Structure 1
Amino acid sequence: MSTTSKVVLGVSVILTLSTVAGVHIKQRLDQERLHQGVVRDLERLERKRENLRVLEQQRVLTQQLEAQRTQREQVAIAKG
């Protein structure tokens, strides 16, 4: 086997191994990125649930305060 043939074979093997390794690394990075997307979605859904719970509490408190204000106004009118 000539020296040129050996060099070409060596370069071909190196390029092939590099390509295979690059593809595997890229796949691993893509899988990790997809997994992080799922984690972010779950965190966003949890924040949304918490925000809805807080909003409902605020609605209840607002209704209670409005009822108290109405009651005070009626008492003030009755006394006045």
Structure 2
Amino acid sequence: MADAPGEPTPTSSSKDPSSFLSEIHGAPITVKLNSGVEYKGELQSVDGYMNIALENTEEYVNGERKNRYGDVFIRGNNVLYISADK
């Protein structure tokens, strides 16, 4: 059966969120909070509630670096999105 026009088609590059998160473990990421604050650091762990632990973390407010932290724990209900950095 063919897909209807305009509908997304699955590709070999499609990933579920848990496989994406396991692939970026230890990699630099950006976490944007619902408040607009961003944290950039190395992903150390994430759980089923999207609680995130980062190392070597920098905090950005309105695009400007405000603080540096060694370790940061972010509660999952505050997370707007997670982005893998290059």
Sort the TM-score into its range (normalised by shorter chain).
under 0.3
Bigger RCO (CA 8 Å, 6+ sep): 2
Q: Between Structure 1 and Structure 2, whose CA radius of gyration is higher?
A: 1
Report the TM-score, using the length of structure 2 for normalisation.
0.18
